[in-house]
Amino acid sequence: MTDEDRKPPSDEARLIFAGGADGESSTTSEFALPEGMAPPRPVAGESETTSEFALPDGLDVPQPPGGDSEGSAFSTPRTYRAPAFTPPMGIPVVSLTKDAPWQDRMRTMLRMPVAERPAPERVPKAAEEGGPAVPRVLDLTLRIGELLLAGGEGAEDVEAAMFAVCRSYGLDRCEPTVTFTLLSITYQPSLVDDPVSASRTVRRRGTDYTRLAAVYRLVDDLSDSETATSLEEAYGRLAEIRRNRHPYPGWALTVAAGLLAGAASVLVGGDFVVFVAAALGAMLGDRLAWLCAGRGLPEFYQFTVAAMPPAAIGVALTLADVDVKASAVVTGGLFALLPGRALVAGVQDGLTGFYITASARLLEVMYLFVGIVVGVLLILYFGVELGAELNPDAALGTAEPEWQIGASMLLSLTFAVLLQQERSTVLIVTLNGGVAWSVYGAMHDTGEFSPVASTAVAAGLVGLFGQLLSRYRYASALPYTTAAIGPLLPGSATYFGLLSIAQNDMDAGLVSLSKAAALAMAIAIGVNLGSEISRLFLRAPSGSAGGRRAAKRTRGF
């Protein structure tokens, strides 16, 4: 600021209107005092300044250096101190321990506001001269989230994995969003920079828990501070995961579907003949479903076609007067078709606050279930018209406890094969399924508890053990829980309801279908509750009980 641009002091401004040097009047303002009238002088000994806002004698105001006494009107005064704002309860300090699984650490980060999230503690791996390659990091994040969501992972776990990938490359101010078919993520470098957003649509879904476990290992390596994984290496590993073939061939899946149906028929009192008949019906239905899938038919019609052969074999055995429990054959075939995986994922999303995704998943379950109902009802209707006497009580028998436990373990093993699990997890989930059925049998048969309560407790133990195993191996909990709940699925209650409807007994049919829905909800809630209990009592990532926060109760408003 030059002297010409500087604002003139009051004395200089007054001299502009004064002409004392030229003999003119020294005051030209109309508010000037007339000549001869002077203001009264202060009495000697009194202060010449009487205003209470005047500075005391001896106190000089320091002048800024350089002789420039004026500053900017937008600059912060030197004596101003910003007030310290704290919520009433304070903001807890979050310290994420290194030994906690990355799922728990990222879930803790997602459940707190953006302003309270701690900043990354290490240098970003993808740092270059101009900073991280933001578009490529976001693209890698979306591709990883797509594989997880298509594999059946819950929405909260998918968001945690996406947040872990972004944070591992230094993008801490990011917000992932997951719905049933759409993934999106937004990154804002700072409060004054424009945000960068990207999205990806999930169009195809496939069940492959081996691929799911490989993606979890990739995210675990990216989240490890001691493992330096560049973007190129991450893209290469992701491409290998996509190219990897399924661990089991198609014929093995067909045989597994047959063994699953046979094991389920033994659980409801079937013998060896029933086992073989249920296995043949399920294998035939599986091949027909594969044929429909190759022709491009939607899943609704695939489930409808797959449900027909077991029901047809059961009706044919009844018409042929073969002394077997035909109802057990149909029930075993239903076990291989009930969408337990999608049901558990849908209820889990609803319990964790992802209501849109939960609604879409449960709607998908309803459509698949209706497809099964249509296929079975068509066969049962024609069987009743042809004179087949199907008695629901014939399937109420139970085998010996040893046979039931063996059948439940075989059912869990074949279910794991159908889910394309890694061979290292098949034995563990088989044992978990045997434990679940043992608990259910002890409560329902020996303790005479209700089937819904017994199912909920058994499913809760499945979720608890599955979560503990996943934390031990730093992997997803789905491979350890989904196949283990197979013996608990409500196949018999579903069949009894459909048979009653086919025999024009709507009241009994609706009651039985309502029981099947209650058992399904008990399974899903039990699995989720067991997982939450394991997280509740184990050490929290933040070192305190309030570290893993969730939504509060609304209290009616």
Provide the mean pLDDT of the chain.
76
Q: How much is the pLDDT for 306? A: 92
Q: How much is the pLDDT for 473? A: 77
Check residues 507 and 84 and name the one with the higher pLDDT. 507
Q: How much is the pLDDT for 223? A: 83
- Is the pLDDT assigned to residue 284 strictly greater than 90? yes
- Is the pLDDT assigned to residue 474 strictly greater than 80? no
Q: How much is the pLDDT for 65? A: 53
What is the rounded CA–CA span in Å between residue 541 and residue 98? 8
- Is the pLDDT assigned to residue 264 strictly greater than 80? yes
Q: How much is the pLDDT for 48? A: 52
Identity of the highest mean pLDDT range in 115-119, 342-346, 410-414:
410-414
For residue 452, the number of C-alpha atoms closer than 13 Å in the C-beta half-sphere is 11
Direct distance between the N- and C-terminal alpha carbons of the chain, in angstroms, rounded to an integer: 59
Check residues 548 and 141 and name the one with the higher pLDDT. 141
Q: What are the tens digits of pLDDT across the range 179-216?
A: 888 999 999 887 778 888 999 988 877 788 889 889 98
Rg for the chain (alpha carbons), in Å?
37
Instruction: Extract the tokens encoding 19.
Output: 């002409």
Instruction: Extract the tokens encoding 212.
Output: 């799911």
Q: What are the tens digits of pLDDT across the range 529-543?
A: 887 787 776 654 444
- Is the pLDDT assigned to residue 329 strictly greater than 90? no
What is the arithmetic mean of pLDDT over 258-270? Answer: 87
Angle, helix 355-385 to helix 299-319, in steps of 10 degrees: 30
Instruction: Extract the tokens encoding 322.
Output: 């073969």
Check residues 283 and 127 and name the one with the higher pLDDT. 283
> Is the separation of the CB atoms in 256 and 264 below 8 Å?
no
> Is the separation of the CB atoms in 151 and 204 below 8 Å?
no
DSSP single-letter state for residue 25 = -
- Is the pLDDT assigned to residue 148 strictly greater than 80? yes
For residue 194, the number of C-alpha atoms closer than 13 Å in the C-beta half-sphere is 2
- What sign does the dihedral 525-531-533-535 (CA atoms) show? negative
Query: Residues 6 or more apart from 33 whose CB is under 8 A from it?
Result: 39
Q: How much is the pLDDT for 388? A: 74
Instruction: Extract the tokens encoding 343.
Output: 């049901």
Q: Where along the chain do its domains lie? A: 102-243, 250-537
Q: What are the tens digits of pLDDT across the range 331-357?
A: 888 888 888 778 878 888 888 888 888
Q: Which residues pair with 197 in a beta bridge?
A: 186
> Is the separation of the CB atoms in 332 and 404 below 8 Å?
no
